[in-house]
Amino acid sequence: MTTLFNYNATVVTPIAGGTNIAVPLTPAKTDIASVIVSVPNTVPRYVQIVATVGIQSNPGSGSVLYRIRRGGTEIYYSRIGIEASFTTFQLNSLLTIDGNSPSGPQIYTLSIESVTPGLTVAVIGPVEISATSFG
């Protein structure tokens, strides 16, 4: 039987237009949200991380890269394409499972970067991240 051990969430903004964070060109990145969850010393143990980010981009096409780190260790990344000629606003959702998390309090940080020169992207909201430890 699976047991839920801990849950925590951070809501930077629950609405579109609630923030305006410029997305830098890689290799620079900007952290946009983080969450701390307590992980017990049991086996097996997993942490599920779910994030939602609303972005706005200028006309053109390209992509952004989302990264999730546990402490300083990158555990997940996802490249998402943008076709701003058709859609200026996007709501991106990410979900990953960290099956290697050490026990104790763990901080998960979500960052974003643009991988396309000349593409202007901003995080406008909503921005939220949650982490659930279970085993």
User: To which H or E segment does residue 123 belong?
Assistant: strand 121-134
Q: Given a cut of 90, is residue 2 above it in pLDDT?
A: no
**pLDDT tens-digit map of 23-79:** 999 999 999 999 999 999 999 999 999 999 999 998 789 999 999 999 999 999 999
- Spatial neighbors of 83 by CB under 8 A, at least 6 apart, are 61
Which residues pair with residue 51 across a beta bridge?
94, 129
pLDDT of 1 over the 80 cut: no
Inform me whether the pLDDT recorded for 120 exceeds 90: yes
pLDDT for the residue numbered 84:
75
> Which residues lie closer than 8 Å to 72 by C-beta, 6 or more apart?
none
**Where does 40-103 show beta strands of DSSP type E?**
46-57, 61-70, 73-83, 89-98
Range of the domain at 31: 4-134
Report the distance separating Cα 5 and Cα 130, nearest Å. 14
- Summarised one tens digit per residue, pLDDT across range 67-103 is 999 999 999 999 999 987 778 999 999 999 999 899 9
Number of domains in the chain: 1
| SS3 at position 103 | coil
CATH number at residue 53: 2.60.120.1340
